Amino acid sequence: MQNLFSTRPNEAPWWRDALIYQVYVRSFADSNGDGIGDLPGVRAKLDYLSGLGIDALWLTPFFPSPQADGGYDVSDYRDVDPMYGTLADFRQLLDAAHERNIRMIVDIVPNHCSDQHPDFQAALAAGPGSPEREKFIFRNGGGENGELPPSDWQSKFGGPAWERVPDGQWYMHIFSREQPDFNWHHPEVRADFERTLRFWSDLGVDGFRIDVAHGLMKDLDLPLRNTFGADSAPLLSPPDGQDHPFWDRDEVHGVYRQWRKILDEYDPPRLAVAEAGVSLERLPMYVRRDELDQAFNFFYLRCPWDRDAFRTVIDAALAGVAKVDAATSWVLSNHDVVRHRTRYGLPAGTDLLRWLATGGTHPVPDDAAGRRRARASLLLTLSLPGAAYLYQGEELGLPEVPDLPAASLRDPIFERTGGTEKGRDGCRVPIPWDAAAPGLGFTDGVPWLPHPRDWSKYAASEQEHDAGSFLTLYRQAAAARRRMLASSPGPHISWQDFGENVLAFRRGRLLCLLNFGPDELPLPAGEVLLASEPGISSVLGTDESAWLLVP
Ligand code: GLC
Ligand code: CA
């Protein structure tokens, strides 16, 4: 099937060096005053997004869902939740995005569904031993009367990964109890997801983000094997070579080989990007030629503010994908982690979960450092070879909100840990658009998470015409990146030596410099294309970066 983006022969796929913007739909823009962002709200902001210079949008799940986990609990994979609009709204948004040359990626959640999904409801009703239960992971419990969970498997959101139902059986859920895991050994489960990929591809979406891509296949041989090691850290993966009962099992690649065939039925082939919390060694397996296209580079996201650490992560990521002739991706924030402006203001090694538990008070982040580093890191991210993912609001320099009132928290992590973990709501606070409007222009009603009192200062309206704002820097960087890519700089970088505190590399004629050290760095000869702070022309201070055009 052709569309206006059909690829010409020998053309690199559009996503290789794409700039992709993540929209957390619930928190982006509300069109009808119910306090919740929606699809018409996203459409109303397309000119803003186009002005930002992005190539694609990734929308977090907007499918029918009871919202037990912000929509990652899907009850119908091929429709739109009325809270977010209608399928007609989605089509309009897609067309309007395509008219502006913006591609659209939707978020597929194959590991689990909602406990309200008709298949799960049917499984509950049909009882133990029924074919309906086969689509999920039901087991009898341990102990004398089956009163113990079938294995030691733990939910990533706290507590056991098993929930008991009234007839005595238990079902598995890696996440909240409202998110039962599918049994991917079941042919109908596979067939149904293939229908879902085709449904959205036929509608014209350009790609898919695959949620928890490394978790689909479980070792269900009886007796169920226990896990090893603590498994509570987000995205923790088993040490290499260990055969974990549900993370990163080799069989999962069979699913993606099958999906590749479907994605390739379209012109251009649909993109698939994996959220896979696996080791750097194993991550390239997910982007082999006959599997998915990209995987999020969470090693980059987790990298401490340290020159050598960045260099190590960048080298390892580039070497990993080179082995399989793929491109890597770069990401610093998303809807699951503390925003990077805030992370970079915290002392190295801060335990973020504990920091959140203190309401963000111990320690207090150094906001000036966080601000400088967030700006400096943008130039690094946007000059590296591969796709870059931005998370909504980082272009406004939004910080984490660690002190939301407990009554407004919605992340299931908060409830499942009995309140000991705050969860991820602090990076999901709605976007401040307009400093002067009630609801900061996000909504005419009451936003689903409250805005901190001082957030009008981050509003897009305030940054629009400010030469020193985050928004201006993001626009300039995206435009400069586009010009740089037009000169076909290729997928390689070469490190340059500017002393032990400076990260420096060339990509084509671009020289990217980031000064991690305390001393000023005199800039070498060359034209300064862009710097992380306005007015930089001859020296880079601490935590500042620049792009130079060199001969
Ligand atoms: C992914 C999502 C996260 C969600 C989880 C369960 O990690 O990014 O938000 O809670 O999967 O679907
Ligand atoms: Ca709404």
3-state SS assignment for residue 285: helix
Please check whether residue 404 is in contact with residue 359, taking contact to mean a CB–CB distance below 8 angstroms: no
Please check whether residue 539 is in contact with residue 520, taking contact to mean a CB–CB distance below 8 angstroms: yes
Q: Is the CB of 69 under 6 A from ligand 1?
A: yes
What is the DSSP secondary structure assignment for residue 8, as one 8-state letter?
Answer: P
Atom of ligand 1 nearest to the CA of 112: 12
Q: Is the CB of 17 under 6 A from ligand 1?
A: no
Q: Given this model, what pLDDT does residue 239 score?
A: 56
Ligand nearest to the Cα of 439, by number: 2
Q: Is the CB of 157 under 6 A from ligand 1?
A: no
Q: Is the CB of 178 under 6 A from ligand 1?
A: no
DSSP, residue by residue, 419-448: TSS--SGGG-PPP---TTSGGGGT-SS--S
Q: What is the 3-state secondary structure (H, E, C) of 213-230?
A: CCCCCCCCCCCCCCCCCC
| Burial tier of 342 (Cβ tally within 10 Å: 0-12, 13-18, 19+) | buried
In the block, tokens 């067309």 appear at 95
Please check whether residue 103 is in contact with residue 206, taking contact to mean a CB–CB distance below 8 angstroms: yes
State yes or no: is 351 an active-site residue.
Answer: no
Atom of ligand 1 nearest to the CA of 235: 7
Q: Is the CB of 181 under 6 A from ligand 1?
A: no
Q: Is the CB of 24 under 6 A from ligand 1?
A: no
Give the dihedral sign, CA 523/524/525/527.
negative
Q: Given this model, what pLDDT does residue 226 score?
A: 83
Return the number of other C-beta atoms located less than 10 Å from residue 257's C-beta.
13
- What is the CA(237)–ligand 1 centre distance, in A? 15
3-state SS assignment for residue 338: coil
Q: Is the CB of 107 under 6 A from ligand 1?
A: no
Amino acid 510 reads L
What is the DSSP secondary structure assignment for residue 142, as one 8-state letter?
Answer: B
Q: How far apart are CA 444 and CA 447, in angstroms?
A: 8
Helices (H), 324-407: 340-343, 352-357, 367-383
- What is the CA(60)–ligand 2 centre distance, in A? 15
Q: Is the CB of 109 under 6 A from ligand 1?
A: yes
- What is the CA(239)–ligand 1 centre distance, in A? 21
Residue nearest atom 4 of ligand 1, based on CA coordinates: 72
Q: Given this model, what pLDDT does residue 4 score?
A: 54
Please check whether residue 430 is in contact with residue 27, taking contact to mean a CB–CB distance below 8 angstroms: yes
Annotated catalytic residue: which of 115, 211, 248, 400?
211
Q: How far apart are CA 6 and CA 52, in angstroms?
A: 24
Q: How far apart are CA 199 and CA 205, in angstroms?
A: 9
Q: Is the CB of 72 under 6 A from ligand 1?
A: yes
Residue nearest atom 6 of ligand 1, based on CA coordinates: 72
Q: Given this model, what pLDDT does residue 500 score?
A: 97
Residue nearest atom 3 of ligand 1, based on CA coordinates: 336
3-state SS assignment for residue 165: coil
- What is the CA(187)–ligand 1 centre distance, in A? 24
Q: How far apart are CA 171 and CA 124, in angstroms?
A: 10
Given ligand 1 and candidates 157, 210, 212, which is best to mutate, with the most ligand atoms within 8 Å of its CB? 212
- What is the CA(83)–ligand 2 centre distance, in A? 6
Ligand nearest to the Cα of 213, by number: 1
Q: Is the CB of 425 under 6 A from ligand 1?
A: no
Q: How far apart are CA 408 and CA 15, in angstroms?
A: 37
Q: Given this model, what pLDDT does residue 103 score?
A: 98
- Nearest Cα residue to 201 out of 287, 106, 306: 106
Q: Given this model, what pLDDT does residue 238 score?
A: 53
Q: Is the CB of 73 under 6 A from ligand 1?
A: no
- What is the CA(62)–ligand 1 centre distance, in A? 14
Q: Given this model, what pLDDT does residue 2 score?
A: 45
State yes or no: is 147 an active-site residue.
Answer: no
Angle at the Cα of 71 (from 65 to 76), degrees rounded to 5?
A: 40
Given ligand 1 and candidates 278, 336, 416, which is best to mutate, with the most ligand atoms within 8 Å of its CB? 336
Q: Given this model, what pLDDT does residue 6 score?
A: 62
Ligand nearest to the Cα of 430, by number: 2
Whether pTM > 0.85 for this model: the answer is yes
Ligand nearest to the Cα of 31, by number: 2
- Nearest Cα residue to 54 out of 97, 110, 113: 97
- What is the CA(234)–ligand 1 centre distance, in A? 10
- What is the CA(336)–ligand 1 centre distance, in A? 7
Pair of tokens at residue 2: 């052709």
10-residue block means of pLDDT along the chain (551 residues)? 57 93 98 98 98 98 98 98 98 98 98 98 98 98 95 92 97 97 98 98 98 96 77 44 85 98 97 94 95 96 97 96 94 98 96 96 97 98 98 98 96 93 97 97 98 98 97 98 93 97 97 98 97 96 97 89
Atom of ligand 1 nearest to the CA of 174: 6
- Nearest Cα residue to 413 out of 338, 353, 483, 340: 353
Annotated catalytic residue: which of 265, 308, 466, 520?
265
